[in-house]
Amino acid sequence: MKRLITILVIGLSLFSYSAFSQTLTIAVTPQTVNIANGESVCLDLVVTNFTDMVSMQFSINYDPNVLDFDMAQNYNLPGLGPSQIGNPSAGNITVSWLADDVVGGQDLTNGTSIVQLCFTGITANGTSPITISGTPTIVEVTNTTGLVTLNGVNGEVVVGSGGSGGSGLVVAAPDVSACNGDNVCLEITVQNFTDLVSMQFSINYNSSVLAFDQATGFGNLPGLGPSQVGNPSAGNVTVSWLADDVVNGQTLPNGTVIFELCFDVVGGNGT
């Protein structure tokens, strides 16, 4: 059966930070997910400008009439684990983290997923915003010099009897903000990756703003590695994959990261 592949184009907004202030961005990724009633999905919390961070606390809200919260998994921030993420009441998730080194703080590469939050759809039709907020746990973020502004990029999960557009495969990359000279890695995630045998597609980027560095983070999709991801020309990345089992195909959970694309930011301003 032919499957439609939807590519969400990579976008990077570039800006400069004042020497006296810092804004941490935490983005729910993918920002929109479609699932069927009874289907589960895991969403990444992806950070940008996570530099010299000492502590953070905030809340994530969802509609408990549309989603059940299942678990948090795939922690990728030292000091962040199951005991730092709570679900005190239906519809509310709390996050509270303190760096192992409160003097020097913690740095993470732009585009790093610090944790995945997993939900199950519980209604025939409904939409649940996934909102970063200060309720019930107030927002407070600090670095080694003081308070930091938190910019939350919210998402949503659409639950319906048809799931995510029927049989269409969705390949998504997050929006990430970066500064000139940064190196940023973007997690490429999939939805509706069911019984797939092969896929090939291209990812395009603005070569006046970005220089391709490398593809990394393989391992979640058998048969996909560095030799299956190419950069034939500036501005173009190619992906070609064949399943190890071409009879039964390959299935992955929604939200699985199949690899990461890393870029150097070479333009002062652009997207």
What is the distance between the alpha carbons of residues 129 and 254, in angstroms, rounded to a whole number? 17
Question: Averaged over 252-259, what is the pLDDT?
Answer: 91
Identify the pLDDT of residue 16.
30
Question: Averaged over 184-210, what is the pLDDT?
Answer: 87
One domain, residues 64 and 37:
yes
Q: Which of 92-106, 187-201, 254-268 is the most confident on average?
A: 92-106
- Domain hosting residue 134, numbered range: 19-160
One domain, residues 58 and 153:
yes
- Give pLDDT tens digits for 24-57: 999 998 778 888 888 888 898 989 999 999 999 9
One domain, residues 181 and 147:
no
- In this structure, are residues 178 and 10 in contact, taking their beta carbons and an 8 Å threshold? no
Final residue of a domain: which of 137, 160, 183?
A: 160
Identify the pLDDT of residue 36.
86
One domain, residues 41 and 90:
yes
One domain, residues 175 and 234:
yes
- In this structure, are residues 133 and 139 in contact, taking their beta carbons and an 8 Å threshold? yes
One domain, residues 156 and 91:
yes
Strand-pair category, 40-48 with 112-121: antiparallel
Identify the pLDDT of residue 176.
79
One domain, residues 89 and 173:
no
- In this structure, are residues 258 and 172 in contact, taking their beta carbons and an 8 Å threshold? no
Query: What is the number of structural domains in the chain?
Result: 2
One domain, residues 33 and 126:
yes
Which CATH number belongs to the domain containing residue 65 in this structure? 2.60.40.680
Final residue of a domain: which of 160, 179, 207?
A: 160
One domain, residues 218 and 245:
yes
More confident position, 14 or 25: 25
One domain, residues 48 and 140:
yes
One domain, residues 62 and 130:
yes
One domain, residues 43 and 116:
yes
Q: Is residue 8, in this structure, part of any structural domain at all? A: no
- Give pLDDT tens digits for 130-147: 999 999 999 999 999 999
Tell me 139's DSSP state.
P
pLDDT for 14 beyond 50: no
pTM reported for the whole predicted model: 0.60
